[in-house]
Amino acid sequence: MDFLADGLRRAAALVASGDAEVRGIALLTLKIALVATVVACGLGIPLGFALAARPFWGRRAALALANTALAIPSVVVGLVLYAALSRRGPLGGLGWLYTWQAIAIGDILLALPIAVALSAAAVQGVDPRVRRTAQTLGAGRWRTGWTVAREARFALAAVITAAFGHVVAEIGSAMIVGGNIRGATRTLTTAVELTASQGDFGLALALGAVLLALALIVNVALQVLQGKGTG
């Protein structure tokens, strides 16, 4: 138990001292997680809406696909992305392998199914009378969609929270396509993995605590936002 207490003490000391390296890793982690969350939710939530809004041929298959994609291991995504971004891959020309952009793309691919599947479930959970009422009052497709989204706002906020939580804690893909390069692609999760493998459990715990604090701050911010205005 000593190393736990030691880890927490060192985490507090790291944050208090404003260690430049830790600050850099935390900021990079935050940047990648925010970019991936915004892109994945920006694409995935409208897609989830479209899947849930009305029946069409193949909808069940599309929903099943999104739900299945939730279970894709991040290392598999990392491997496929590595193949695509490597010099001889179809996206090799971008030169993004071992960059933060590669990690962000991997995170987007992992968070996208979360955004699609959970937002579809959120919209399906809205009372069908809301949609009907908007339509009978003359709302077009966009206004009806917006009205439904407003009713599902808590569930949609949970989608964003889940997507952020997933990408901020992601390691498998980040390790493969990011390479854990110090000062360039080292994120909090890859740093934790490295320090733990080097036997420095105290530092690993300290970095883990920073990661948790980061997730906590973002979640609290989201809760404050969604708590504004009720009824």
Partner 1 sequence: MIELREVTHRYGGRVVLALDRFTLPPGGSVAIVGPNGSGKSTLLRLLALLETPSTGAVWIDGAPAPRGRHLAAARRRVTLVEQRPVLFRGTVRENLGFGLRARGMNRADVNGIVETMAERLALSALLERRRGELSDGEVQRVAVARALAVRPDVLLLDEPVSSADRAAAATLYRALEAERAERGLAICLASHQLEDAYRWSGDIRALADGRLSPVTPENLFRVELPPGDGTKTVRVGGVEVVVSTDRSGPAILAVPPTDIFLSRAPLASSARNVFAGRVTRLAQQRPGLVQVTADVGVELIAVVTADAARELALSPGGAVVFAFKASAVRVF
Chain positions contacting partner 1, by CB under 8 A: 127, 129-130, 132-141, 143, 147, 150-151, 153, 229-231
CA atoms within 13 A on the CB side of 110: 33
First to last CA, the chain: 47
In whole angstroms, how close is the CB of 123 to partner 1 at the nearest point?
15
Q: Which is nearer to partner 1, 155 or 194 (CB)?
A: 155
Instruction: Output the six-digit token pair for 184.
Output: 């360039």
Q: How far is the CB of 227 from partner 1 (least distance, A)?
A: 14
CA distances (Å), 106 to each of 13, 134, 147, in order? 32, 38, 32
Q: What is the b/e burial string over 118-131, where b = at least 16 CB atoms within 10 angstroms of the residue's CB?
A: bbbbbbeebeeeeb
In contact, 207 and 25? CB cutoff 8 Å? yes
Least separation in angstroms between CB 129 and partner 1: 5
Task: Find the shortest distance in angstroms from Cβ 54 to partner 1.
Answer: 11
Output the smallest distance, CB 53 to partner 1, in A. Answer: 14
Q: Smallest Cα–Cα separation from 80: which of 175, 186, 173, 180?
A: 173
Residue 110: C-alpha distances to residues 16, 42, 151, 154, 222 (Å): 33, 14, 27, 22, 21
